[in-house]
Structure 1
Amino acid sequence: MTSHAPPRIFSRKRRIAGLRRARVRQAHRDAARYLLDDMVEDVLDRLEFIRLTPGRVLVIGDWTGTLALSLRGAGAEVDEHDAASLDEERPLDGGPYDLIVSLGSLDRVNDLPGALLHLRNALAEDGLMIASFPGAGSLPHLRRAMLAAEPDRPAARMHPLIDNQAAAGLLQRALFKRQVVDSHTLTVSFGGLHRLVSDLRDQGLGSVLASAAPPLGKAALERAEHAFMKQANNKGRVLESFEILTLTGWKD
């Protein structure tokens, strides 16, 4: 039986570099962190709803430390990792865990089915995995602006994203039981394209494609800014959407 390696869409090296730059940017008082804050709050709400009090927890991707702090306050033993210290495309050490939470991370791995299987294997029996990341409905205005910037031959600049149906199939493929996929939309107001790009960099959400596109020239940037602001409301603000996709699965 022949085994084929998954296509290399993302660069792990670029991903780690972007995360490190984001941590430096977070030192500024006005640095954006709303996506991760939203994911953390959502996870805590879910755990409270199902009344889960895990003993051992693995948290991936929460560079704020907020989720781990809350879980430790409830008596859990928590291991924390990010893309620099843990490769989700490899078997995970330290288990078994009663709960694994991955935030803003799984959408940037080349072998997502394999990563989900590694997470499942690191769970204890009846363990729970919760993974949240930007889904296919995210950043529609930015996508239109990027297409307008290079109308003749647009370079690949934005990540392929996963929708609900594909996510459900991936959970089944990774042998999770009682799996649930749901999403909600976070809407953020921007006064210009430059602010959106800055917010993405603050949160380590810049492009980490393996084939990096060349920088946009001045004319292309002007076309992108114009196309972005054409979508503004009567107050001169563009309401951009982030679809937060959440995958939940149990190991029975």
Structure 2
Amino acid sequence: MTVFDRALVRRRRDRAVAEFSDHSFLFDEIAERLADRLEDVIRPFPLALDLGCHDGALARALAAPGGAVGREFGGGWRKGIEHLVACDLSPDFARAAFGNGATVLAADEEFLPFAPGSFDLVVSNLSLHWVNDLPGALVQIRQALKPDGFFCAAMLGGDTLVELRRCLYEAEMEVAGGVSPRVSPFAEIKDAGGLLQRAGFALPVVDSDTLTVTYSDAFALMRELRGMGETNAVLARRKVPATRRLLFEAAQRYAQLYAEPDGRIPVTFQVLYLAGWSPHESQQQPLKPGSGQVPLGDALKGGARH
């Protein structure tokens, strides 16, 4: 299924590069959270891939104490990373990430240019929610991992921008008498675990965080999304710009429905975290059906006694 205009996603990322640091708070925050999650995995990852690197926030978050990254810079990365490869759909973002010590290239998440079994670790920070064929991309990621390699990613989930979605929907119904996709669709947490299993990952784990950020008004939020390179790129969107009347109607509804006592509006960002391993014989395996030694009824009775 083709949902997103990937060429438009690339152009909007290219456009966002120049002033991205003014709008990158979410990418910086989630990069730190991903790096912290990797600290819970007790093993090194000599060769790692940062998939959808944007300006290199994840490379900075993974930098070893002291700030320098990469052996050629006299420093290194956490988690035993000796070499980091960073790629992004946007060539301009790939160039922007170069100064973080990684090997960088422009590459599409839907058509990964890496040989099977290349990496010990693949990490992705808020990029995979723009992929059309997410199951296919996950299969390619799993194939790019070495046996017992680790995948860890963050992507926006279905509750993201729920307030803006409602206000644009209601405003367009009022102004135009119909609706069109104004906010991109996002994956639901209940589906994410199944996607990892379908892609062949072992020991899949999915959880989520919800971040609430406040803005002065809906127009400030829209400017932020543009600065992030995260504005609507759905193929079925209306190709003409939204009218001033529609935008003002949506902003007014947002303030009426959600404004806090100080007049600022809350914005929801739901972040899904996906983790899984490339299969290896050393990993824990489920027992075969019928191989249990204790009848279920006896186990439940035992639990009731205690």
Q: TM-score, normalised by structure 1?
A: 0.92
1:148 paired with 2:170, answer: yes
Distance 1:36 1:173, change over 3 A: same
Distance 2:218 2:199 in 1: 38
1:210 to 235, 249, 255: 235
Q: What count of residue pairs does the alignment treat as equivalent?
A: 243
Letter in 1 for 2:51: I
Query: How far 1:140 sits from its partner (Å)?
Result: 1.3
1:194 counterpart residue number: 219
Distance 2:113 2:145 in 1: 10
Q: Which shifted more, 204-213 or 54-63?
A: 204-213
- Would the aligned equivalents of 1:92 and 1:122 in 2 still touch at CA under 8 Å? no
2:125 to 93, 96, 103: 103
**Counterpart mapping for 1:89-128 below 5 A:** 89-93=110-114, 96-128=118-150
2:261 counterpart residue number: 234
1:80 paired with 2:86, answer: yes
- Would the aligned equivalents of 1:179 and 1:248 in 2 still touch at CA under 8 Å? yes
- Would the aligned equivalents of 1:157 and 1:212 in 2 still touch at CA under 8 Å? yes
2:276 counterpart residue number: 249
Deviations along 1:116-175, one digit per CA (max 9) or x if unpaired, are 000000001110111111101111110111112211201112111111111111001001
- Would the aligned equivalents of 1:103 and 1:133 in 2 still touch at CA under 8 Å? yes
1:58 paired with 2:49, answer: yes
Structure with the larger RCO, 1 or 2 (CA within 8 Å, 6+ apart): 1
C-alpha RMSD over aligned residues: 1.5
Distance 1:59 1:91 in 2: 12
Distance 1:158 1:66, change over 3 A: closer
Letter in 2 for 1:82: D
- Would the aligned equivalents of 2:124 and 2:154 in 1 still touch at CA under 8 Å? yes
Distance 1:148 1:55 in 2: 51
2:155 counterpart residue number: 133
2:187 to 152, 156, 162: 162
Q: Greater Rg, structure 1 or structure 2?
A: 2
Distance 1:76 1:67 in 2: 15
Q: Which runs of 4+ in 1 moved over 3 A?
A: none
Letter in 1 for 2:18: V
Q: Runs of 5+ in structure 2 lacking a partner?
A: 64-69, 71-75, 91-105, 280-306
Distance 1:134 1:110 in 2: 14
Q: Runs of 5+ in structure 1 lacking a partner?
A: 1-6
